[in-house]
Amino acid sequence: MATTSCFAALASDQDLVPHHIERRSIGPKDVAIDIAFCGVCHTDLHFAKNDWGRSNYPLVPGHEIVGTVNAVGADVKKFKLGQKVAVGCFVNSCHTCSSCAVDLEQYCLNGVTGTYNAASVDPGGFTYGGYSKHIVVDEHFVLRMPEGLDLAGAAPLLCAGITTYSPLKHWNIQAGMRVGVIGLGGLGHMGIKFAHAMGAQTTMITSSAHKAQDALRLGADGVLLSSDAAAMQAMANQFDFLLNTIPVYHDYNVYLPLLKVDGTMCIVGTIGMNAELNARSLIMGRRKIAGSLVGGIQETQEMLDFCAQHQILSDIEMIPMDGINQAYERMQHSDVKYRFVIDMSTLA
């Protein structure tokens, strides 16, 4: 296939710039996609800047991808030309391990292939992501966009959406349960929408009093200020489930007493850093701390269908492709409500 235009990080200390990459030829099971929109995840920024020490340049970020099928391989069964589709955080897995066998490709024991910066047989030796005009993906890892879902607002569902939907479904959140969503950012705002749509009594737990109004608008039934010790004490033993979306180092012990006996706090916000944990709160109520990573392909499709049914979208700020470096600046100050989405038609 010909080269296609994209925005890439060429080194860790430089801004993203226009670039050309080569996409692989369309194999028999591949779907070629014209990208309409791509969401901007904080992970993109970490990889562009090599914060985790494992970035390969040129690096094309982007794993919240929506667009239109422009070509399909000979053996493709699920998709046809012109169909609206989406791609999330990974584009390959082994298909044979115990995780893949139960549609949990994200936990592939042989290593899932990330949508960008992952070793692959693609030209260049690594996958390239969605800050691009086109992408070629095996049909197994392509999602069907349901009718009636705004494409731009849906883009962040592919990461921020499934990251919060999956644990809420796994822990069977439903009416009659009380859920706390800790932290109001890209993940937290989706967590509130999903917990509310699933029927749970939903509380926004935040250290920022000024976020209360927005939390209620997004669907929270109440707001709990984590800095208010008396309020936190009053809510001890009240929550069935806590979805912890805080993206920085923090003390888990502050939140664990909020859980009922047998309750779970699931971590989706931090990765790669230690936290303080005193097992006392776990032991004194058989409480659990768990983690969760995005969701499998089947569950991601279920999430998109759930969003269409309940008209759930991300709250977004649309930017042109050449606004990405300014967007990264703002993200570092948490200055976005609640997800930047790149309009890929602005990329020449």
> Which positions lie near its own copies, rule CB under 8 A?
98-99, 104, 107, 109, 170, 237, 252-253, 260-261, 264, 267-268, 270-293
Quick check: 285 and 262 in contact, CB under 8 A?
A: yes
Least Å from the CB of residue 119 to its own copies: 17
Alpha helices in 123-224 (DSSP H): 151-154, 160-170, 186-197, 212-218
CA 298 to CA 143: how far, in whole Å? 9
Pairing mode of beta strands 3-8, 17-22 = antiparallel
Torsion angle in degrees (nearest 10) through CA of 71, 76, 79, 80: 50
Q: Which is nearer to its own copies, 226 or 245 (CB)?
A: 245
Question: Closest CB to its own copies among 163 and 206?
Answer: 163
**Nearer CB in complex with its own copies: 12/238:** 238
Please name the amino acid found at residue 302: E
With respect to its own copies, which residue has the nearer C-beta, 71 or 275? Answer: 275
Whether 37 contacts 344, CB under 8 Å: yes
Minimum CB separation of residue 284 from its own copies in Å reads: 6
Nearest approach, Cβ of residue 264 and its own copies (Å): 7
Closest approach of its own copies to the CB of residue 250, in Å: 11
Q: What is the spatial distance between Cα 296 and Cα 89, in angstroms, rounded to a whole number? A: 10
Nearest approach in angstroms of CB 58 to its own copies is 27
Nearer to its own copies, 284 or 318 (CB): 284
Residue type, 14: Q
- Is 48:2 a contact under the CB 8 Å cutoff? no
CB of 289 to its own copies, least distance (A): 5
| Between 79 and 194, CB nearer to its own copies | 194
Grouping H, G, I as helix, E, B as strand and the rest as coil, residue 4 is strand
**Angle between the N-to-C axes of helices 160-170 and 186-197, in degrees from 0 to 180, rounded to the nearest 10:** 40
Residue placing its CB nearer to its own copies in the complex, 194 or 252:
252
Provide, rounded to whole angstroms, the least separation between the CB of residue 339 and its own copies: 20
CB nearer its own copies, residue 148 or residue 272:
272
Q: How far apart are the first and last CA of the chain?
A: 18
Shortest Cβ 251–its own copies spacing (Å): 9
CB contact burial 233-262 (16+ within 10 A = b; e otherwise): eebeebbbbbbbbbbeebebebbbbbbbee
